[in-house]
Amino acid sequence: MAKYIVKQYVAAVGGESALNWVESMYAMGEVRVGTTEFSGSEECMSKKKMVKVKKMQKKGEVGGFVVWQKKPELWCLELVVSGYKISAGSDGKVAWRQTPWHHSHASRGPPRPLRRLLQGLDPRSTANLFNNSICIGEKTVNNEECFILKLEADSNTLQTRSSSNVEIIRHTVWGYFSQRTGLLVQLEDSHLLKLKTTASDAIFWETNMESLIQDYKTVDGINIAHAGKTWVTLSRFGEGPESHSKTRVKEVWKIEEVDFNIKGLSIDCFLPPSDLKKEEEKVVEECRVPASNTKLPYKIQSASFKISVSKVAAVNVDDSSGSESDGDEEDM
């Protein structure tokens, strides 16, 4: 059933011949990001500890992004929000990211596709992602009756992406495909990791993302989504209640320009930064949060939440379809 739904999706976005015609692509867009933060705090009253919750809402920040891709495994993103530039990319061998508050560093495990490309910009990667998924039912999304496809990372993949201090417990992706049009209308994924703070204590971080994909338009015979909304919820729990926090980010995005088969886009355009270093065995590097409880400046906070929306999110599955992947597994 799932493979049939994926075939219908491929036909809806333009067909195999149209997708095979694409060797590279470029897209430019605009984003508006707003955040709401809920945090636990502790106060003393009558010699008893009580937990109270603080809510802090921040105004929206406007930014823009540019993404280039050459085949599914080569991609590069540049994003600017509140005057801060964030970059990420993959040269087919390693995926990397670079922010104003971190050194350039590589992601653990094999390179994975950019989540933003899966939000209606790269139908080929979307089809590959759900090729080995399972159909778990139906649901109405944005007034569209949809089939639900589900994909979970296996234990070997989770272990590869984990380290001595950080254990990735689960990573699940859901795709909602319209029964009427065959197109992807919503993408969800959930990611849970465990950070060891001491021999007996640990902190858990859970990231849940939900993207509503809208405004499909045909570009050179291929249906590309030109607008959408993404909600990200980042939750921290474990240890005492005073350390619990939840941050919710809403991103509204639209695509202003798309083009295919870009002349002069060589592999040199996807090389990682010269100062790239492997991810350090530190909680601050693995989790991408400050080592202390010190708050980042407001503008940097806004930009850091934005990279959560655009972060690389993928699931590796066994390659049973004879794809063009160089390895034994196809990186989804």
Give me the residue spans of the domains in the chain.
2-39+54-318
> Which tokens belong to 299?
């503008």
Of the pLDDT bands very low, low, confident and very high (cuts 50, 70, 90), residue 306 is very low
Which residue has better confidence, 217 or 304?
217
Residue-level pLDDT at 320: 30
| pLDDT (0 to 100) of residue 157 | 81
Q: What is the mean pLDDT of residues 19-34?
A: 93
pLDDT: is 11 or 309 the higher one?
11
Cα separation, 66 vs 28, whole angstroms: 4
Which residues lie below 8 Å from residue 39, measured CB to CB, with a gap of 6+?
53, 54, 56, 244, 245, 246
d(CA 136, CA 307): 30
What does pLDDT average to over the chain?
78
Apex 211 CA angle, 301 and 106, nearest 5: 55
Q: Report residue 304's pLDDT band, with 50, 70 and 90 as the boundaries.
A: very low
Of the two residues 90 and 241, the one the predictor is more confident about is 90
Alpha helices in 149-201 (DSSP H): 155-160
Residue 133 scores a pLDDT above 70? yes
3 state DSSP class of 309: helix
- Asked if 32 contacts 150 with a C-beta cutoff of 8 angstroms, the reply is no
- Where b means 16+ CB within 10 Å and e means fewer, 127-138 reads bbbbbbbebeee
Which of the four pLDDT bands, split at 50, 70 and 90, describes residue 171?
very high
Residue 182 CB coordination number (10 Å): 18
- The 8-class DSSP code of residue 131 comes to T
Q: 91 and 42 in contact (C-beta within 8 Å)? A: no
- Report the DSSP pairing between strands 184-196 and 166-178: antiparallel
238 versus 158: the higher-pLDDT residue is: 158
Q: Which pLDDT band, with edges at 50, 70 and 90, does 276 fall under?
A: low
Residue with tokens 């619990």: 244
Alpha-carbon distances of 318 from 65, 118, 160, 330, 331, rounded to whole Å: 32, 19, 14, 6, 9
- Lowest-pLDDT range of 83-92, 193-202, 218-227: 193-202
> Could you give the C-alpha distances from 170 to 3, 234, 293, in angstroms and in order?
24, 15, 26
**Please, which pLDDT band fits residue 325 given cuts at 50, 70 and 90?**
very low
The residues near 141 (Cβ < 8 Å, ≥ 6 apart) are: 176, 185, 186, 212
Task: Tell me which of 43 and 4 has the higher pLDDT.
Answer: 4
Share of the chain above pLDDT 70, in %: 73
Average pLDDT over residues 8-26: 95
Distance (Å, whole) CA 108 – CA 221: 36
**Average pLDDT, integer, range 175-203:** 90
Flag whether pLDDT at 10 surpasses 90: yes
Confidence at 198, pLDDT banded by 50, 70, 90: confident
